[in-house]
Every structure is written in structure tokens, then in C-alpha cells.
Amino acid sequence: MGLQCGIVGLPNVGKSTLFNALSNAKAEAANFPFCTIDPNVGVISVPDERLDILEELVNPNKLVPTIIEFVDIAGLVEGASKGEGLGNKFLGNIREVDAIVHVVRCFEDDNITHVSGRVNPVADKDIIDTELQLKDLDSVEKKIQKTEKIARTGDANAKKEMAILNQYKTVLEDGKNARTLKLSKEEKEPVRDLMLLTDKPVIYVTNVEESAAVSGNEWVEKFKEYVKEEEAEVIVVSAAIESQIAEFDEAEEKAMFLEEYGLTESGLNKLIRASYSILDLITYFTAGKQEVRAWTIKKGWKAPQAAGVIHTDFEKGFIKAEVIKLEDYQKYKTEQACKEAGKMSIEGKEYVVKDGDIMHFRFNV
């Protein structure tokens, strides 16, 4: 399954610098607003040491990691919901992503102009939230107008939809994000087609100076306190350090560079882990001589759904799944040895796939 995260934030908070560091797609970085006009898409391989283990055991012709797409979306300004700046273009780009990576500036630098003339990550967040909320409110109100006409005829489903839509309207009018409304998947059905911007999962990236990359700074602490009631991930990243890491080709060089700053992992790894966490994603593997490949699925998916990520025919004609745990593969070294030791399980349609499972599907169409 494809995973796409949209990187958003006010102009000059470090969005494009971070994006450039994360991917091979180079967005133009400059000290003025709207430097990124069209959304740039960077396709990034997800680092996973389990793939390296399987590569050593299987010695395949090809190793295929799973990927995440990061989309660098043009900087937002106050009034975007009414078409200011890049307005509707920006908001339309956000609708397409699975999760929002919201970059806030938590560093002082007189050489980089802040669009509002001061560093205040809480205020920056509120500006973007307000614009997204206003756009969502407009979408909800338009649907209320249509649904209300049907509800007046006595239609029971329309009346139920109206009740849900009015709950969203109230929340948005109160200056809160749609995701704060705790409803079931079924209850959210009336707004599913609206693809509400503030209902998407969000990861906050606090962009700090190099000296604060390990423990953050006072701006980060204030910001964490401000968003603690949200169901959101908050990570500390120095885009300046990430830019330097991106210049190294070898993993050993990157590790030595990170060690100099007292870091155990890159900001990219933090961001990928946060993305998987907030979207409830896991990884399973297929392993053979032709290729060893990682596949991303939703936590809780059953075997046929997981098979469908490879090809829809696998799901339609699913018969069974042969499953080996990675620790058993490491211990017994080969698929055949795992089978002989009774460590290959045969699972049916109700099997819930676990993170790290090595799977082989049997199907017939």
C-alpha cells in the first residue's frame, strides 16, 4: 500500500530544507515565501534492519524495501482558506495525503526571515490550524445545506447524517480540529467524502538548531505542553543536521557523524517511525531467491488483505498463508529447516498478520 505524508508549515520554518535532506528530489530552498510552488514528491526507502538479516540468510537477486512518499507542500499564509497566497492549491494538495507532517520553527536565526517577524511555534501552529479548520468548516456547511433538504422529507439516514455533520460544525466553529471529535468509523461515514484536512493524523516536527538536536530547547518544551492533549506525535529534528547527513553515502559515515552530535538515529528514522505509529502500520516480508521484499499494511489486517497488497488476485483466490517468524528463520537459517523443525505455520483467512512475519501465500483464481 502506498503511504504519503505531506510536509506543511509556514514559509521559512525549514520545510524544504528538511524535505531535501529526506529525499533525492531537490526542492529549491530560499529565504523568501512561496519558494516551493508545486508540491515536490520524494520517494524514500524505509530503513529496516530485518531486511538486512533476511538478505544475509536468503542471498536474493534483489532486495526491495517498502517506501514512503513525502510531499513538500507550498508554504501557507494567513488567509489561505480564502485564497490568500497559494490558498486553495495548497489546501487541495493536503487532501491527498495520508498524514500531515507539520514543521514548526523552534530556532533563532537573524539570517532567516520569519514570515511573522518572530519565532513562536505555538502561534505558527494556530495560524495553520485556523486556515485548515476554516476550509473544513466550509466543506461541512456545504454538505449540511444539501443534506438538510433531504432530511426535511423525513429521510431517516439524512437525519442521522445531519446530527453528525452538526457535531463537526460545532467543533470547527469552536476552533478545534475535526480529529478531536471522538467518533467511530461508522459514525464518521457522512464526512468521509469530504476528506477533512483537520481529521488527518498529524506529526509535529520541531525544527531546532544543531545544539538542541538531542534534547530540544525551551520552544520545544512549550510546544509539547501546548499540544499534549492532541493525539499527535512530536519529534525533535535539526533540518541543518539532516542536510549534512544526506551528503554521506556510507552508513558508517552517517553513524559517526550522528555520534559527534550525541544522536543515535537520524531525523528521517524518527519521522518514519512516527509515521508508522500514528497510521497504525506494520511490515511483513516475502523472501525467496528472486527477491526479499518488505510490504506495508495496516495493523490488524488479516492474511487475505495482506496478500492483496501484492496483487488483488492473491486476495480474491486466497487459500492459505505459510508463516515463519523472523527469530525462527535466524535460528534455522533456511525455509526448509524451519518447516522440518515445525516452525512454519499454515494459516487461514482469519489469521491476523504480525509485524515482522515472513509469508508465502497460496492462491487460486
Tell me the binding residues. 12-17
According to DSSP, the residues that pair with 302 across neighbouring strands are 352
Sheet of 344-347: strand order equals: 62-64, 291-298, 281-287, 358-363, 318-324, 344-347
Coil/strand/helix, residue 15: helix
Of 38, 39, 18, the C-alpha closest to 29 is: 18
Distance (Å, whole) CA 301 – CA 349 = 10
Handedness of CA 230, 234, 239, 240 (dihedral sign): positive
115-146 CB burial, b ≥16 within 10 A, e <16: bbeebbbeebbebbbebbbbbbbebbeebbee
Handedness of CA 287, 288, 293, 299 (dihedral sign): negative
Residues in binding site for ATP:
12-17
Three cell numbers written together for 140: 461541512
